[in-house]
Amino acid sequence: MILPDLSDPTTFDDQDLGDLWRELRQTTPVAWHEPVGGRPGFWVVSRYSDVVDVYRDSGTYSSQGGNVLTTLLAGGDSAAGVMLPVTDGPRHRQLRNIILRALSPRTLERISASLRDRTERLLEGAIERGTCDFAADIASRIPMGTIAELLGVPAEDGAFLLSQTRSALSSDERDSKPKEAVEARHEILLYFGELLELRRKSPVPGVISELAEAVIDGAKLSDDEIVLNCYSLIVGGDETSRLTMIDAVNALAGHPDQWHLLRTGAADLATAVEEVLRWASPTMHFGRTCEADSQISGVRIAKGDIVTLWHSSANRDEMIFPSPDELALDRTPNRHLAFGYGPHFCLGATLARMELTELLRALRAKVAELEVTGAPQRIHSNFLTGFSSLPVTFSRHRTDAMN
Domain ranges within the chain, ordered by starting residue: 9-401
Pairing of strands 61-62, 285-290: antiparallel
- Fold (CATH) for 9-401: Cytochrome p450 (1.10.630)
Any idea what DSSP says for residue 171?
A: B
- Tell me the average confidence (pLDDT) per consecutive run of 10 residues in the chain, 403 residues long: 91 90 98 95 98 97 96 93 95 93 87 95 95 96 93 91 87 78 92 94 88 93 95 93 98 98 96 98 98 98 98 98 98 97 95 97 96 95 95 84 41
DSSP string over 304-346: T-EEEEEHHHHTT-TTTSSSTTS--TT--S----TT--GGG--
Give the pLDDT of residue 402: 37
pTM score, whole prediction: 0.94
Which residues are CB-neighbours of 288 under 8 A, at least 6 positions away?
54, 61, 62, 63, 65, 67, 306, 307, 308, 309
Give the pLDDT score at 399. 63
CA 286 to chain centre: 11
196-199: list long-range contacts, CB under 8 Å, 24+ apart: 196/223, 196/226, 196/227, 196/230, 199/152
Predicted local distance difference test score (pLDDT) of residue 400? 58
